[in-house]
Structure 1
Amino acid sequence: MDTKNFFRLAPALERFRKQRGVSQKAAALAAGIDATRLSAIERGRVVGPGKDFVERLIRTIEMTPDEADLLAELAARDRVMREVIRNFPPAAHAFLDAALDAAQVLAAEDVAEAERGLRQMVQAKVRLQAFVARA
């Protein structure tokens, strides 16, 4: 089984870098990282680079906050999946990969639900303050 399919950072990093017209060599040089390592990450040969490495690339490629958050999440996910592959039998890899994806979606839905609830609370407070001010 090809384990590269379980990792998400490589294609996203390459896509963001190319969208901005930045070569691997230029990105690596500006971030103060090894160009060979960046190439290996984008090809999926090195997975789960550390937070510092990813943060330097995010600054170098000048990503939007949403893109930076996504890239950081993908790097963290890849680090978890790397440990799954190291520590679980191949038969479990696809299941655990799907479980990670599901957990990410559920987490996003939970955050969205919390934001909706908070907005409703703020709107209710504003209405109450307006009512009290009129009374």
Structure 2
Amino acid sequence: MTPFGEAVRRLRRERGVSQKQMAAALGVTPAYLSALENGHRGRPSFDFLQRVAGYFNIIWDEADDLFRVASHSHPRVVVDTTGLPAAYTALANRLATEIRGLPPDAVTELTEMLDRIVFLREKAR
């Protein structure tokens, strides 16, 4: 499952809407919506994101969150380390090799560490 799929499923369930109902309202097939929710499809288009936000009538902040999680929801990621030191390439390859075996708490810890680093970098600008 992707972060976007998880968010859509949560919104759908909170509002008591079936995949079939939502798919019909958005002009997509239930199979496509299911594939999005289960991480078998890549990032949705901007147009689709707008239709989802409109369908659920969500406010700007919540829509921004939905758009943000969609940007982090491509199940097949390519990490371009061209021009970076060898250690960066080694890290990207190691993560690709090990990610399926990481326990959830390790994923949380790594994500929090990255969030702190990005926050400090942005603060320094």
Sort the TM-score into its range (normalised by shorter chain).
0.5 to 0.7
Of 56, 60, 65 in structure 1, the residue corresponding to residue 55 of structure 2 is: 60
Of 20, 25, 38 in structure 2, the residue corresponding to residue 30 of structure 1 is: 25
Of 8, 18, 28 in structure 1, the residue corresponding to residue 13 of structure 2 is: 18
CA–CA distance in structure 1, aligned partners of residues 15 and 51 of structure 2: 16
Paired AA for residue 115 in structure 2: A
Under a length normalisation based on structure 1, what TM-score does the superposition of the two structures give?
0.58
The question of whether the paired residues in 2 share the 8 Å contact of 1:31 and 1:57 is answered with yes
Residue of structure 2 in register with 1:102 after alignment: 115
Residue of structure 2 in register with 1:76 after alignment: 71
CA–CA distance in structure 1, aligned partners of residues 15 and 117 of structure 2: 27
CA–CA distance in structure 1, aligned partners of residues 45 and 21 of structure 2: 20
Residue of structure 1 in register with 2:84 after alignment: none
Stretches (4+) displaced over 4 A = 85-90
How far off is 1:54 after superposition? 1.6
**Partner SS for 1:82:** coil
Count of paired positions? 102
Identity across the alignment (%)? 31
Residue of structure 2 in register with 1:48 after alignment: 43
Paired AA for residue 48 in structure 2: F
How far off is 1:103 after superposition? 7.5
Structure showing greater Rg: 1
Question: Which sections of structure 1, spanning at least 5 residues, go unmatched?
Answer: 111-135
Paired AA for residue 23 in structure 1: S
Question: Which sections of structure 2, spanning at least 5 residues, go unmatched?
Answer: 82-88, 100-106
Give RMSD over aligned pairs. Answer: 3.5
Q: Give the 3 Å change call, closer, same or farther, for CA 90–10 of structure 1 in structure 2.
A: farther
Q: Give the 3 Å change call, closer, same or farther, for CA 74–83 of structure 1 in structure 2.
A: same
* Structure with a larger share of its residues in helix: 1
